[in-house]
Structure 1
Amino acid sequence: MSDRRQVLLRIDPAVHDALTRWANDEFRSVNAQVEMILRRALDDAGRMPKHAAPPPKRGRPRATADKSGRTTQD
């Protein structure tokens, strides 16, 4: 997994509630929704760095069976 930086963000509670509803509608966490919005805004403004890592894949990693037949997460 690539390095992830933490950002403390203070926003109006009504804005947070709207973000939460939007994220829930798209089956994302609020954090993932904010990152998606920021990435779109950077891309639209022509400011997305060429070397930026792709966004993390949505959902849980697929379960795979190891040699003993036990299921593990990728």
Structure 2
Amino acid sequence: MPAKKPFALRLDEKMMKAVEKWAADEFRSTNGQIEWIVYEALRKSGRLKEKE
């Protein structure tokens, strides 16, 4: 598994509550949900190489 780099992220309260709800709905942690959102955005934009 690749190393993970800590990163501070500031979100407004309304956005954070929406992400927390989404994460709970999908049985993920809030951090896991944010990681998944970023991964999907990178993959869909072609900025992340697919695993070989």
Assess same fold via TM > 0.5.
yes
Stretches of structure 2 that go unaligned for 5 or more consecutive residues are none
Letter in structure 2 aligned against 1:36? W
- Partners of 1:48 and 1:22 in 2: CA distance: 23
* Match in the other structure for 2:16: 16
The percent identity for this pair of structures is 39
Q: Shift of residue 29 of structure 1? A: 0.4
TM-score under structure 1 length normalisation: 0.63
**If each structure's helix is expressed as a fraction of its own residues, which one has the higher value?**
2
Deviations 1:39-74 (A, max 9, x none): 1000110001356xxxxxxxxxxxxxxxxxxxxxxx
Taking structure 2 as the reference length, the TM-score comes to 0.88
Looking at CA atoms only, which structure, 1 or 2, has the larger radius of gyration?
A: 1
**Runs of at least 5 residues in structure 1 that lack an aligned partner in the other structure:** 52-74
